[in-house]
Amino acid sequence: MKHLYLIIFFIITSFTYGQSNGDIDGFSMYPNPVTTGKVYISTNLNAPKKIFIYDVFGTLLLKTTILGKELNLSDLDAGVYVLRVLEKNKMCTRKLIVK
């Protein structure tokens, strides 16, 4: 049953937000999957970014702001998450895998 919820969630997320670069110019996130507990998020502007991380059920797990590129994810368990980045009123959403 959990697999069905996961599939439905990703279908809705992909239709709603897409998997393109969104509105943030030069958006990149690496490494994905995350194995070291850190992910690096960069954009052309390199402005402060509000970060939201949701589990597959849509529960907000992490809300933070980063000034540079490094985001510490060491508190997250291994799994699949949805990462939403807001920078200067532009938004980008990606699937995030933590191993």
Buried b (16+ CB within 10 A) or exposed e, 41-59: bebeeeeebebbbbbbeee
Q: Is-contact 82 93, C-beta < 8 A?
A: yes
Element containing residue 80 per DSSP (H, E): strand 79-87
Domain span at 32: 26-98
pLDDT at 42: 95
CB 59 within 8 A of CB 92: no
User: Order of strands across the sheet with 38-42?
Assistant: 28-30, 38-42, 70-72
Q: What is the CATH number of the domain that holds 45?
A: 2.60.40.3080
Residue that is written with structure tokens 């996961």 in the block: 6
The model's pTM: 0.76
pLDDT digit string, tens, across residues 4-52: 665 666 655 554 544 444 589 999 999 999 999 999 999 999 999 999 9
For residue 92, being part of any structural domain is answered with yes
Q: Is position 94 within any domain?
A: yes
Residue 11 forms part of a structural domain: no
Query: Does residue 10 sit within a domain?
Result: no
The answer to the question of residue 49 being in a domain is yes
Q: Which of 3-7, 30-34, 69-73, 79-83 has the lowest mean pLDDT?
A: 3-7
| Count of domains forming the chain | 1
Taking every pair of C-alpha atoms in the chain, what is the biggest distance, in angstroms? 42
Classify 18 in phi/psi space as left (phi over 0), alpha (psi -120 to 50) or beta.
Answer: left
Q: Looking at the domain assignment, is residue 82 inside a domain? A: yes
